[in-house]
Amino acid sequence: MKTFKKLSAILACACVLGAGSAWAEDRAVENMSPMDAVQVNPEIMRAPVMFTTYGKLVAVEDGRYVVEGEGNLRVVAAEVDRDTYIIDENAKLRLPHALKVGQTVTVFYSAQTTRSLPAQSHALAIVIGEREAAPSFIEVAEAKLSADGKSMTVLNNNNDLIATIGSDACKDFAKIKKGDKLLLWSHMVTMSLPGLTNAEKVIILP
């Protein structure tokens, strides 16, 4: 009986210590920057705030640009307004009339979509051109300058991509800050969560 009581006491202490350790780890993660936190524990990554669909622009209906292809949604009716960035093959900003039915585009849009068919959402950016040559559109959730000042590391607002940006990719890399919208070219992203990449070219959008 005494042996059973001792064993019970030992197990109880172990549970308390384990709970305390888990609590301490949770608190440590909470006190980290978002960039550090998602690297330590990718499971804390929140639901995405931005979706992407790559394909053909198949219709224009009442200011909505219908894109069909592949991505988070197979078909999306993207609402374009004055806050939407439209980027052509030369990475130049354009007006909506540059978008033509039949073009190959990548549309970046809010993850808040309607339940209609097709789903409707606000277009954050539409990039014209084949995906292999087209940049990604990201909003910066966190920007951290390296200790030597030679590069900037940024986390996107989906918390699923961390990019290192040097002077070769962007001469004004040191000015990048939280909330900035970027066009980012990169040919290789790791399969980790979050994905890691070294940017080859970056444009800070106005």
Q: Provide the CB-side half-sphere exposure for 75 (13 A, CA).
A: 9
pLDDT of residue 46: 67
**23 vs 161 pLDDT, higher one:** 161
Give the chain's domains with CATH numbers.
Answer: 50-128 (2.40.50.140), 136-204 (2.40.50.140)
Partnered with residue 71 across adjacent β-strands are: 53
pTM over 0.85: no
Residue range 8-63, pLDDT digits in tens: 555 555 454 454 544 444 544 556 777 887 777 766 666 899 999 999 999 998 88
Q: Are 183 and 136 in contact (CB under 8 A)?
A: yes
Residue range 97-136, pLDDT digits in tens: 999 999 999 999 999 999 999 999 999 999 999 999 999 9
Tell which residue, 135, 124, 118, has the closest CA to residue 50: 124
